[in-house]
Amino acid sequence: MVSRFTIGLGTLALLAAMTVYAADEVKLEGVKCFVNPKAAAKAANAVDYKGGKVFFCCMNCPKAFSADTAKFAAKANHQLVATGQAKQEKCPFTGEDIDTNTKISVNGAAVCFCCDMCKAKAQEAKDQVETIFNDKAFDKGGFKVAKAEKK
């Protein structure tokens, strides 16, 4: 009986440490839950997505996300970039090489384009997140989640 209690306590401590480690690895300062954008995203409420993790304010939001992933795809992709998990390789509109002089910030996520025309298209978009981070643009932009190095 005592050993089960000790194992259970040790498991809880390990989970708490992993949550703190995950929060240190991915910066969530200023990141909002994309299902409930008024609330802050928390490291403890994460689910796997495209090789990274997306974060929610509570454990009910992942249920809404799973029920209609397509509805939230652009916002989830945006969060992967905003948290530094996904890195851009190409222009999200043309698939061409990016020019770092065209960098803009879209709700905390830095994104570059191939030229000033694409930059202007992004800046003029009514919904920048949907325009730049929808699945088609995300793929064309070569956004990829970097694999974590094993320590």
What's the CA gap between 132 and 141, in Å, rounded?
9
Distance separating alpha carbons of residues 121 and 137, to the nearest angstrom: 13
Residue owning tokens 């209690």: 5
Write the pLDDT tens digit of every residue in 44-73. Answer: 999 999 999 999 999 999 999 999 999 999
Whether residue 102 is predicted with pLDDT greater than 90 in this model: the reply is yes
Q: Kindly report the pTM of this predicted structure.
A: 0.80
